[in-house]
Amino acid sequence: MTLNLELESLENIIKDFYNVTHIRSSIYDGNYSKILSYPKEHSPICSIMHSNEKTRHFCSQSNQNAFEQCKKEKKVIIYTCHMGLSEVAAPLWDNDIIIGYIVFGQIIRSPAETSLTESIQKKCQEYGIDIQNIPELVSQIDLRTEKEILSIAHLMEACTCYIMYREIMRLNRGSFIMKLDEYINNHLHDKITASALCQEFYMSRTKLYDTLNDTVHMSIGRYVKRKRIDRAKQLLADTDMTILEIVEQTGFNNYNYFCQVFKKEVGMTANQYRSQAAN
């Protein structure tokens, strides 16, 4: 999934977010790759975690788990990272497709757990990291009440609506068709349904139909059928597979139906097409 981005506008939005909240935020794409952050520096203790290859992996895993939960629940979520700090993730939508995420965090939820410093010390020992001034580093982490976190989450959600409304971050429709083609080609021998495609691309049935109408100007059923025929033509021209084998390979399953569809779409029988391709 590739995106069209207005990076300067995106950066201005998260700068404004920071100026109001004094909380660091980041924007990720739908593949969980970071696009940008502001400020660029992590909080002191998180900087230590990100500078270590082992602990950096746990930080990335925390983010990925949050994004997957966001994707599943399709809403803003508040979660706790592997170090015990509170963070918030919100999905970015292009109509009905999740194309990215905004995250803010590296904060302590108030009232803070009295054992947070001790918990972080244990984590550092577990990770084999020797940090002498953990209490001082913990004292530098932003402390917010749950009510404040919820209010800031609502503000961030408003930012996502603005980003989508102004199309500051949007899906490259050509890229979507490429991903759709890849999925269809990998599942030609399976039964491909609109429901399966909606689940794969996290979009509604209506949006799937609208996107196909806007890009390839045909229904999903006809588009899949066209892809099956294209593969059949390639196999007829480049292999010695029998027509029955090609029928099974391309997901038609019924020999007579394949012959009927092939002749209608191509204007000749499969045997005629193979003979013509051999000349």
* Per-residue confidence (pLDDT) for residue 245, from 0 to 100: 92
Residues 142 and 8 in one domain: yes
* Per-residue confidence (pLDDT) for residue 173, from 0 to 100: 67
Residues 31 and 114 in one domain: yes
Please state, in angstroms and rounded to a whole number, the distance separating the CA atoms of residues 92 and 64: 15
* Per-residue confidence (pLDDT) for residue 106, from 0 to 100: 87
Residues 186 and 211 in one domain: yes
What CATH number is attached to the domain comprising 210? 1.10.10.60
The angle subtended at Cα 74 by Cα 72 and Cα 78, nearest 5°, is: 90
Task: Read off the pLDDT of each residue in 173-202 and give the average, rounded to a whole number.
Answer: 85
Task: Read off the pLDDT of each residue in 191-202 and give the average, rounded to a whole number.
Answer: 87
Residues 267 and 162 in one domain: no
Going from the C-alpha of 88 to that of each of 67, 80, 235, the distances in angstroms are: 10, 9, 50
Identify the domain boundary among 171, 190, 224. Answer: 171
Specify the number of domains making up the chain.
2
Closest CA to 78 of 98, 113, 86: 86
Name the more confident of 111 and 209. Answer: 209
Residues 136 and 160 in one domain: yes
Residues 53 and 130 in one domain: yes
The model's pLDDT over 25-78, given as tens digits with 9 standing for 90+, comes to 999 988 888 999 999 998 888 888 888 888 888 899 999 999 999 888 889 999
> Per-residue DSSP letters for 174-190?
HHHHHHHHHHHHHTTTS
* Per-residue confidence (pLDDT) for residue 257, from 0 to 100: 93
Residues 132 and 263 in one domain: no
Residues 91 and 128 in one domain: yes
**Domain interval for residue 14:** 3-171
What CATH number is attached to the domain comprising 164? 3.30.450
Residues 153 and 38 in one domain: yes
Identify the domain boundary among 171, 200, 221. Answer: 171
Residues 198 and 167 in one domain: no
* Per-residue confidence (pLDDT) for residue 14, from 0 to 100: 95
* Per-residue confidence (pLDDT) for residue 191, from 0 to 100: 87
| 135: preceding bond cis by omega (within 30 degrees) | no
Q: What is the pTM of this model?
A: 0.65
Name the more confident of 149 and 137. Answer: 149
Identify the domain boundary among 171, 201, 226. Answer: 171
- Look at residue 24 and tell me whether its pLDDT is greater than 90: yes
Residues 104 and 206 in one domain: no
The model's pLDDT over 215-259, given as tens digits with 9 standing for 90+, comes to 777 888 888 999 999 999 999 999 999 999 999 989 998 899 999
* Per-residue confidence (pLDDT) for residue 35, from 0 to 100: 94
Going from the C-alpha of 237 to that of each of 102, 167, 224, the distances in angstroms are: 49, 44, 20
Residues 199 and 122 in one domain: no
